[in-house]
Amino acid sequence: MSKSNMPFGNQGWDYSRTPDMSNKVVVITGGNSGIGFEAAKVLVGKGAQVTIFCRNEQKAKEAVAEIAKHTNDKGSIDYILMDLARLDSVRSAADLFIANHEKLDVLLNNAGLMMIPTKTLTEDGFETQFGVNHLGHFLFAQLLYPLVEKAQGRIIAVSSIAHMWGLKRIKFEDLNFDHGYSSTASYGQSKLANMLFVHELQRRLKTADSAVNAYVVHPGYADTNLQRTGPGGIEKWMMVVFGRFFSHPPSHGAKSLVLAAADKEAQPVTFYGPVKRGGLGGPVGIFPIAPHGQDMDAAAKLWTVSEELTGAKWAI
């Protein structure tokens, strides 16, 4: 791996680089488990005021109780219920947060679904992986953007090396996979959408001369519930077996999230995450983005389509 891919040294980025986050307000979707949970623990330990957004209230309460053990005297942790598969839930959750906060320093769009074996639709009629992983977050980010602008903050999307899989383009003509559903292809499309979203968002922010910046990261092959609860059949079996040899704990997978959220040297639209074994593991540095993940024409089109589907109208 070249030095340009390892800007933090051969050992990669580590939590020791996390600066003081006192008075920083942070939102993490899916912060009740996995890498979002681990990132929340680190950030509250550095003084951040963190709110996690998740679907299940019991799991949210349990996560908050555990995360609270890691807070310092300035950090805090709270939760708001939100279902990314329902746009009305996204709007209600965003409204509740806005009503109680004046700014937002870090919006970390982390929650997601992975490789659902059978095609399903959200309540709004979107293929579930695309609806949750991209469209729900697209609307959520638009609603909270004014608070991020006030803080001159950061918007982060958790994408994946899966943006490189199979599909080399967004299926604009068949976003719902009405013809030939594939759990891996639909997941790859949703992660490609996360990547293109960050590219178009950063382009718009730069054009508007905004102090806000957009970041994109991946966790590598982190051993989380995502692998165990998403795939089905032989795919689930293969991931369990594969994970025994190649996975790493969520605490390592969360390093790229904290890097993008907190490190002063983090650069916009730079794909931070594990850099070895094709991005599955190893030290955290800069991983290459697939050419189709940098297609600005596709990114602009996706933005327009996403606004139409969600009703989100960005002010940039």
Each residue of 30-85: pLDDT tens digit? 999 999 999 999 999 999 999 999 999 999 999 999 999 999 999 999 999 999 99
In this predicted structure, the answer to whether residue 300 has a pLDDT above a threshold of 50 is yes
The whole-number pLDDT of residue 241 equals 47
Domains of the chain: 3-309 (3.40.50.720)
The whole-number pLDDT of residue 247 equals 78
Average pLDDT over all residues of the chain: 93
State the pLDDT confidence band at 95, using cuts at 50, 70 and 90: very high
CA distance 90 to 93: 5
- Tell me which of 15, 79, 145, 187 is the catalytic residue: 187
pLDDT tens-digit map of 192-210: 999 999 999 999 999 999 9
Determine whether 187 is an active site residue.
yes
In this predicted structure, the answer to whether residue 3 has a pLDDT above a threshold of 70 is no
